[in-house]
Amino acid sequence: MIKKVLIANRGEIAVRIIRACRELGIATVAVYSEADREALHTQLADEAICIGPAPSSESYLRMDRILSATVVSGADAIHPGFGFLSENSKFAELCAKCNITFIGPSAEVMRKMGDKAQARRTMIEAGVPVIPGSKEIITDVEFGKKVAEEITYPVIVKAALGGGGKGMRVAYTPEEFENAFLTAQKEAKMAFGDDTMYMEHFVEHPRHIEFQILADNYGNVVHLGERDCSIQRNHQKMIEESPSAALSDELRAKMGEAAVKAAKAANYTNAGTIEFLLEKNGNFYFMEMNTRIQVEHPVTEWVTALDLVKEQIKIASGLPLSVTQEDIKLTGHAIECRINAENPEKNFRPSPGTITDLYLPGGNGVRIDTAIYSGYTIPPYYDSMIAKLIVHGFSREDAIAKMRSALGEVIIEGVDTNIDYLYEILQHPDYQSGDIDVEFIEKL
């Protein structure tokens, strides 16, 4: 087994990893920036090494300093957490060159999955569904119409040089196509001086459904069910749950199988996530693969009774998976809310500052992953997520009730938080009935 791990991260995920290591009897090394001297991860780890000034570009993103800290402290592995260097293939490559175990997939796999076009090609070859799109550029409306039939309506026409929503139109029927295409093309010509277009099937009101997978170094891959992360604002997830209200056992098996196929096609090892868009009619499409542990991993942990961070460390230590697909059963329902220090009334402006009073709920089926404590000063340099509140109930209804109860108990004084905002989402009849998609927040 790995004997000593350096955690190249901060905040609640660093604390989460330190705890998992401790439980496994592995020594821990924290790295911290000058702004994080008093941070929980700095205090909790067996050793802590300062790696630079507050800005992450000078500390948590400095590969050279993190590698040196690892060597100096005698750690044999690095856990990158999420964000920062976690999906940086160059960093993974450098770790390998320094004989340091990178707890995650290989640099090559990260590179392959990080390149959208290559990831898409890999998935098409493996038979994983991707959003159907035009293979070549389209300049004329008749040809466009033919392609639209092939990729099925509704379709979205986009400018090849596009961006910022310009030169983009959706056509729901063949009757609408000509008008939509020509308008988009005209707009593209005006905005980018170029009217070559391409086209994709338009995924209407999709849900964001992602599958957690675990893969060891010996070709064994299992999926741990899905997470429904449709409640998101500007592509930032806010509430996640498992299982999803939209998946039948049959669909779960089908999507899970696709996720396993995807991981195998990528030669994936360690924990990873396959993101899909799910249409109302049950069609689903591969979006991308996240090659790291994710913020919302606790909901999966609770319904599967697995510790994902420990699994990561075991896989990186060269152990084979201890579970097979048959062993994986989803029990009950788990929901996670991300608590951020921000002000929803002021356009979610971050609200760093000192926490003057703090009360966090507990009790049966309530879990809090956080790095804050009473008197802690949230520095302005990093992400504004300060805690994750996760609940587990017998059913979705039960979990929602538990989450509302727990949210109601949270007291964080001194900074603004989004707790009331989260509470309101949980009250929303559409949320309660499970009728959600990625546009839920936009439509509020």
* Residues catalogued as catalytic: 292
By CB under 8 A, residue 305 contacts another protein: no
Q: 65 and 29 in contact (C-beta within 8 Å)?
A: no
Q: Which is nearer to another protein, 48 or 391 (CB)?
A: 48
Token reading at 256 = 């899970």
By CB under 8 A, residue 62 contacts another protein: yes
According to CB under 8 A, which one of 174, 282, 318, 363 is a site residue for another protein?
318
By CB under 8 A, residue 16 contacts another protein: no
Q: Which is nearer to another protein, 66 or 159 (CB)?
A: 66
Query: For residues 88-107, which are near another protein according to CB under 8 A?
Result: 90, 94, 97-100
Q: 93 and 298 in contact (C-beta within 8 Å)?
A: no
Nearest approach in angstroms of CB 83 to another protein is 21
> What is the SS3 assignment for 82?
coil
The site for another protein, by CB under 8 A, has a size of 37
Fill in the per-residue mask, 356 to 395: x = in contact with another protein (CB under 8 A), - = not in contact: -----------------xxx--------------------
Q: 270 and 110 in contact (C-beta within 8 Å)?
A: no
The region, left, alpha or beta by phi > 0 then psi within -120 to 50, assigned to residue 52 is left
Q: Which is nearer to another protein, 239 or 386 (CB)?
A: 386
Rg (CA), the chain: 23
The CB density around residue 181, as the number of other CB atoms within 10 Å, is: 23
Residue 116: phi and psi, rounded to 5, are -55, -45
Q: Which is nearer to another protein, 289 or 309 (CB)?
A: 309
By CB under 8 A, residue 26 contacts another protein: yes
Residues paired with residue 390 on neighbouring β-strands, in sequence order: 336, 367
Query: DSSP string of 357-404?
Result: EEE---STTEEEEE---TTPEEPTTS--EEEEEEEEESSHHHHHHHHH
Q: At what angle do helices 116-126 and 249-265 cross, to 10 degrees?
A: 120
Q: Which is nearer to another protein, 36 or 226 (CB)?
A: 36
Q: Which is nearer to another protein, 22 or 233 (CB)?
A: 22
According to CB under 8 A, which one of 34, 53, 54, 63 is a site residue for another protein?
63
Omega of the bond prior to 154 within 30 degrees of 0, cis?
yes
CA–CA distance from 156 to each of 12, 161, 320 (Å)?
A: 40, 15, 44
CA 217 to chain centre: 23
By CB under 8 A, residue 193 contacts another protein: no
Q: 366 and 389 in contact (C-beta within 8 Å)?
A: yes
Nearest approach in angstroms of CB 292 to another protein is 21
According to CB under 8 A, which one of 169, 314, 338, 402 is a site residue for another protein?
314
Nearest approach in angstroms of CB 40 to another protein is 7
| Segment near another protein (CB under 8 A); pick from 37-45, 207-215, 325-333, 401-409 | 37-45
133: which DSSP letter?
A: B
Nearest approach in angstroms of CB 64 to another protein is 4
The CB density around residue 135, as the number of other CB atoms within 10 Å, is: 9
By CB under 8 A, residue 114 contacts another protein: no
According to CB under 8 A, which one of 161, 319, 323, 426 is a site residue for another protein?
319
366-370/197-201 β-pairing:
unpaired
Nearest approach in angstroms of CB 413 to another protein is 14
Q: Give residues in contact with another protein (CB under 8 A).
A: 1-2, 22-27, 38, 40, 43-44, 46, 62-65, 67-68, 70-71, 74-76, 90, 94, 97-100, 314, 317-319, 373-375
